[in-house]
């Protein structure tokens, strides 16, 4: 581990719906680390853009919005994380289908990415964090102690995301979720800035046929291989 940090940095990347946030929360709780949901930060900026009527294609409009934003991840450990945007708790609102359908467009822009990447690096510099997203092991923190790339089949990802949205009370068809995930996969992996890639030295974990607990156990096994038991 880097001696300048006070604790480990673990990154978890992968496509939409692979179960990254469930895994990241599970690891954070068990290892006593802070969970940093980088996607939630892109969602917060997207929510702000929708509310302020800023065109998701306008990089300069979004850059000004970023400069005037204050994003905070509250709740220091495990799964009690709240996302605070300009002093307001937007934890629920950023999960709406409206935000989901615009977030890939917003996160394509270099200026949005460099603003959020800098914030994420600052948060992680203290150590004792699990960073989760699409580029945390490749761009945000390539020197992380443990890098995990979580994958699952397209069908499994659609099914899980659909169940998750139904449980949250959204009336949405599986077909719509499939279209949204296919579109986000396409944008995330073909964008010019920080496309979704397997980070160098990452451990690839396929959760298609694994339950939540099994996925967490495999990831813990990887972490324990690299880091001392007492974090
Ligand atoms: O993980 P999520 O679905 O909440 O992420 C929302 C979007 O944010 C996702 O479609 C792509 C983008 N994102 C990104 O570009 N880079 C990250 N590190 C995290 C998310």
Q: Check pocket membership of 41 for ligand 1, CB cut-off 6 A.
A: no
Q: Is the dihedral of CA 65, 121, 157, 169 positive or negative?
A: negative
Q: What was the pLDDT predicted at 130?
A: 96
Burial track 56-86 (b if 16+ CB lie within 10 A, e otherwise): beeeebbbebbeebebebeeeebeebebbbe
Q: Are 188 and 52 in contact (CB under 8 A)?
A: no
The CATH superfamily of 9-222 is P-loop containing nucleotide triphosphate hydrolases (3.40.50.300)
228 HSE (CA, 13 A, CB side): 4
The ranges assigned to domains in the chain are 9-222
Q: What is the pLDDT of residues 122-144, one digit of tens each?
A: 999 989 999 999 999 999 999 99
Average pLDDT of the chain to the nearest whole number: 91
| Gap from CA of 156 to ligand 1 centroid (Å) | 18
Pairing mode, strands 71-74 and 82-85: antiparallel
Q: What was the pLDDT predicted at 97?
A: 82
Task: Give the C-alpha separation, 14 to 147, whole Å.
Answer: 11
pTM for this structure? 0.90
Q: Check pocket membership of 39 for ligand 1, CB cut-off 6 A.
A: yes
Burial track 181-208 (b if 16+ CB lie within 10 A, e otherwise): beebbebbeebeebebeebeebbebbbe
Q: Check pocket membership of 16 for ligand 1, CB cut-off 6 A.
A: yes
Q: Return the closest-CA partner of residue 4 out of 114, 135, 115, 124.
A: 124
Task: Give the C-alpha separation, 124 to 126, whole Å.
Answer: 5
């Amino acid at each position: 581990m880097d001696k300048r940090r006070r604790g480990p940095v673990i990154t978890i990347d992968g496509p939409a719906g692979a179960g990254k946030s469930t895994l990241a929360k599970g690891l954070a709780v068990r290892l006593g680390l802070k969970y940093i949901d980088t996607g939630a930060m892109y969602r917060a900026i997207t929510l702000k853009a929708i509310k302020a009527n800023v065109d998701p294609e306008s990089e300069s409009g979004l850059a000004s919005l970023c400069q005037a934003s204050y994003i905070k991840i509250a709740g220091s450990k495990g799964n009690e994380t709240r996302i605070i945007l300009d002093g307001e708790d937007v934890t629920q609102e950023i999960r709406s289908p409206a935000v989901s359908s615009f977030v890939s467009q917003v996160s394509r822009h270099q200026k949005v990415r460099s603003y959020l990447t800098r914030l994420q690096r600052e948060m992680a510099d203290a150590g004792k964090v699990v960073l989760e997203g699409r580029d945390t092991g490749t761009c945000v923190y390539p020197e992380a102690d443990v890098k995990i790339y979580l994958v699952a089949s397209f069908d499994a990802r659609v099914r899980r995301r659909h169940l998750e949205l139904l449980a949250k009370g959204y009336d949405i068809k599986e077909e719509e979720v499939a279209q949204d995930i296919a579109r986000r996969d396409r944008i995330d992996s073909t964008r010019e800035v920080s496309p979704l890639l397997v980070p160098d030295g990452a451990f690839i974990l396929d959760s298609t046929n694994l339950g939540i607990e099994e996925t967490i156990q495999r990831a813990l096994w990887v972490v324990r291989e690299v880091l001392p038991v007492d974090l």
